[in-house]
């Protein structure tokens, strides 16, 4: 048998060769888990897989569910290492840890880009966060981005927005090229791509793979999984790995694959596409007399193609090479692993800037927030317009008004529950690719999204409602009232944040956030007299945002104000005493401290939950 030539197509010259990635005896299992407990048997999705990804274009092909994405993810360090029962991945003879993901490039299948940003802005975002500022000046970063734009043929759409659900942006192929560019910013010597042509028409797919081919000639080893490519794409592959049911059925030069299978009795029709033909072989849609004969000798269910490959010269040659590398070339230590290229404050600056720009360019939510607060402020003001000081309506109307206001502050923040759910994919990708720390993302949401989106509308709401209702005059009282509204609102937001960081499904998150709000309302001390009813549950009031908000609003309003009943004057503190409320300064401020406590605890837990989000594929 003619031995395979392991180099790339003849005549193809590399300006620079990329690294060689080797992997030996990879065994990867998954097991279904329910409520943190493993249930059911382990499923082997990679079975004793060994191979070499050489400089050039390395394609991993196979039917759906064959394990091609799993193989790509394991060698790229993106799959949960807990499932790796055995095996080792090395780059140029150095053992690789799961952190390889940070020092190489990984392009995910579903492009995760900021839709309100142009192609150039997205690339610059990546450059700003992933290039060390002490090594690259702003000019250098701009030059790098321009170079990538030119290299990927993105000149015509460089200043076009990527696009959102409301904004038509660049085409699918341009999005994919931009996603590739985001990774090229760091000049990775290894580039992994998960099905880069899925969802693209054949011409666009062709141009993407051609560009990857060009990159591979300039020192980047390109490795990707791919579904049935057309012939012009197949021709660009240097190395081909064919997977079937978690095992390799071929791994070697792409231009030798047809000859290898011809030796097994599979002959391609004259006008058939080799990629289609190879997939038909693995799917069992093409038969070979040699293999039919062999099948009868193997145990039932045994993957005959995989067994045959393991016995082949080409595989023995790979094993020999792996052995040699392990013995002679093995360098103790690890391939370059991650860390962040930029400091915490620099990241915070860049990410906050993007969050603010994104908010300004996609202002629907901010406008809605502002309008709802103004309308509610006017509505509350009209319903409780200039509440008199005469009893009993003075107390009845104030009590109703405060309950209405606090309820609005709490329930108007249900929308905050979507904050980490909407951006979960982009956060996971950017965080695991080393763009920024989790704390940076979290703080950017607080400083650049939450505070402006809540503080300004709530202050407007408070001013409108307060003066229309004719509440306790004096700027100090208004300031304390506005502070109470802001803290009540932020406490509700922090509960929503906690749910948002813990649950990935919007429908479930909505339920989980509405439930505690309803409980807090019932046990806030306004709807139920907790001394006579449900006394065994009365401890819940200590966790109620309603209780603290209402108590603070009452104290602020009744303290220092006199009311009139049948011609006599009754100080507001009398009413406060009857309600069991402490009218002293501490009586008021203890509620603010409690609200701040709820905010701090929920925000801290949200951050912990964000850190705990599963980043593995």
Ligand X SMILES: Nc1ncnc2c1ncn2[C@@H]1O[C@H](COP(=O)(O)OP(=O)(O)OP(=O)(O)O)[C@@H](O)[C@H]1O
Q: Which residues form the interface with ligand X (CB under 6 A)?
A: 30, 45, 62, 64-70, 225
**Nearest in space to 407 (alpha carbons), one of 450, 376, 378, 368:** 376
Q: What are phi and psi of 395, to 5 degrees?
A: -80, -45
State CA 257 to chain mean position distance. Answer: 38
Q: Rank residues 66 and 128 by Cβ distance to ligand X and give the closer one.
A: 66
Q: Least distance from C-beta 237 to ligand X, angstroms? A: 17
**Nearest in space to 261 (alpha carbons), one of 231, 243, 282:** 282
Q: Rank residues 62 and 516 by Cβ distance to ligand X and give the closer one.
A: 62
Q: Rank residues 278 and 603 by Cβ distance to ligand X and give the closer one.
A: 278
Q: Least distance from C-beta 424 to ligand X, angstroms? A: 16
Residue pair 28/83 in contact (Cβ under 8 Å)? The answer is yes
Q: Least distance from C-beta 434 to ligand X, angstroms? A: 22
Residue pair 66/306 in contact (Cβ under 8 Å)? The answer is no
Q: Least distance from C-beta 44 to ligand X, angstroms? A: 9
Three-state secondary-structure class, residue 233: helix
Backbone torsion region of residue 373, taken as left when φ is above 0, otherwise alpha when ψ lies between -120 and 50, otherwise beta: alpha
Q: Rank residues 24 and 225 by Cβ distance to ligand X and give the closer one.
A: 225
**DSSP codes of every residue in 76-140:** HT-S-GGGEEEEEEEETTEE--TTHHHHSEEE-SS----TTSBHHHHHHHHHHHHS-TTT--HHH
Q: Rank residues 38 and 150 by Cβ distance to ligand X and give the closer one.
A: 38
Q: Residue with the closest Cβ to ligand X?
A: 69
Q: Least distance from C-beta 488 to ligand X, angstroms? A: 41
**DSSP codes of every residue in 374-433:** HHHHHHHHHHTTT--SBTTHHHHHHHHHHHHHHHHHHHTTGGGGGHHHHTHHHHHHHHHT
Q: Least distance from C-beta 245 to ligand X, angstroms? A: 9
Question: CB-based contacts of 568: which residues, under 8 Å, 6+ apart?
Answer: none
Q: Rank residues 64 and 327 by Cβ distance to ligand X and give the closer one.
A: 64
Give the chain's radius of gyration (CA, Å).
32
Q: Least distance from C-beta 39 to ligand X, angstroms? A: 13
Cα 503 to Cα 419: distance, rounded to the nearest angstrom: 11
Cα 478 to Cα 191: distance, rounded to the nearest angstrom: 59
Q: Least distance from C-beta 522 to ligand X, angstroms? A: 41
Helix 545-558 crosses helix 585-612 at what angle (to 10 degrees)? 150
Q: Least distance from C-beta 28 to ligand X, angstroms? A: 8
Q: Rank residues 225 and 484 by Cβ distance to ligand X and give the closer one.
A: 225
Q: Rank residues 62 and 549 by Cβ distance to ligand X and give the closer one.
A: 62
Q: Least distance from C-beta 309 to ligand X, angstroms? A: 17
Q: Rank residues 66 and 342 by Cβ distance to ligand X and give the closer one.
A: 66
Q: Rank residues 246 and 434 by Cβ distance to ligand X and give the closer one.
A: 246
């Amino acid at each position: 048998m003619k031995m395979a030539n392991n180099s790339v197509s003849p005549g193809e010259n590399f300006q620079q060769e990329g690294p060689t990635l080797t992997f030996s005896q990879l065994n990867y299992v998954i097991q279904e888990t329910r409520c943190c407990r493993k249930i059911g048997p382990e499923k082997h999705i990679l079975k004793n897989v060994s191979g070499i990804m050489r400089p050039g274009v390395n394609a991993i092909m196979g039917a759906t569910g064959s394990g091609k994405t799993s193989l790509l993810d394991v060698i790229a360090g993106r799959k949960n290492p807990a499932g790796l029962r055995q095996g080792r991945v090395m780059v140029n003879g150095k053992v690789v840890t799961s952190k390889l993901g940070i020092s190489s490039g990984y392009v995910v299948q579903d492009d995760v880009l900021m839709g309100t940003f142009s192609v150039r802005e997205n690339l610059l975002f990546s450059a700003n966060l992933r290039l060390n500022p002490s090594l690259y000046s702003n000019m250098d970063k701009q030059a790098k981005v321009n170079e990538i734009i030119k290299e990927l043929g993105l000149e015509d759409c460089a200043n076009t927005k990527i696009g959102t659900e409301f904004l038509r942006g660049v085409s699918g192929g341009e999005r994919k090229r931009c996603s590739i560019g985001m990774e090229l910013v760091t000049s990775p010597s290894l580039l992994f791509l998960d099905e880069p042509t899925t969802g693209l028409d054949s011409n666009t797919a062709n141009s993407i793979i051609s560009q990857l081919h060009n990159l591979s000639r300039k020192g980047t080893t390109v490795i990707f999984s791919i579904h049935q490519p057309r012939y012009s794409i197949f021709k660009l592959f240097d190395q081909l790995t064919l997977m079937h049911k978690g095992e390799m059925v071929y791994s070697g030069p792409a231009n030798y694959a047809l000859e290898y299978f011809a030796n097994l009795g599979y002959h391609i029709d004259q006008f058939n596409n080799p990629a289609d033909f190879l997939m038909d072989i693995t799917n069992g849609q093409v038969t070979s007399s040699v293999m039919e004969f062999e099948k009868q000798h193997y145990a039932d269910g045994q993957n005959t193609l995989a067994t045959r490959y393991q016995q082949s010269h080409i595989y023995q040659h790979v094993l020999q090479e792996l052995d040699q590398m392990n013995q002679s070339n093995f360098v103790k230590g690890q391939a370059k692993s991650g860390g962040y290229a930029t400091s915490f404050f620099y990241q915070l600056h860049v990410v906050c800037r993007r969050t603010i720009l994104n908010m300004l360019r996609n202002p629907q939510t901010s406008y809605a927030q502002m309008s709802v607060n103004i309308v509610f402020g006017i509505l509350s003001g009209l319903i409780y317009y200039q509440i008199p000081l005469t009893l009993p309506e003075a107390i009845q109307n104030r009590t109703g008004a405060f309950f209405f206001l606090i309820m609005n502050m709490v329930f108007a923040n249900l929308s905050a529950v979507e904050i980490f759910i909407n951006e979960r994919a982009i956060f996971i990708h950017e965080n695991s690719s080393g763009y920024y720390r989790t704390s940076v993302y979290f703080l950017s949401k607080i400083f650049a999204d939450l505070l402006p989106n809540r503080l300004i509308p709530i202050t407007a709401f408070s001013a409108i409602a307060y003066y229309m209702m004719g509440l306790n005059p004096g700027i100090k009282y208004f300031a304390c009232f506005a502070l109470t509204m802001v803290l009540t609102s932020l406490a509700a937001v922090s509960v929503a944040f906690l749910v948002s960081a813990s649950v990935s499904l919007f429908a479930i998150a909505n339920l989980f956030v509405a439930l505690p709000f309803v409980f807090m309302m019932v046990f806030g001390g306004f709807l139920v007299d907790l001394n006579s009813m449900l006394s065994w549950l009365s401890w819940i009031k200590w966790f109620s945002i309603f209780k603290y908000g209402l108590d603070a609003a009452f104290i602020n309003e009744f303290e220092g104000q006199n009311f009139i009943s049948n011609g006599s004057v009754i100080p507001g503190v009398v009413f406060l005493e009857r309600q069991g409320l402490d009218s002293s300064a501490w009586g008021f401020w203890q509620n603010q401290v409690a609200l701040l406590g709820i905010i701090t605890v929920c925000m801290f837990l949200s951050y912990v939950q964000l850190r705990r989000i599963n980043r593995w594929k």
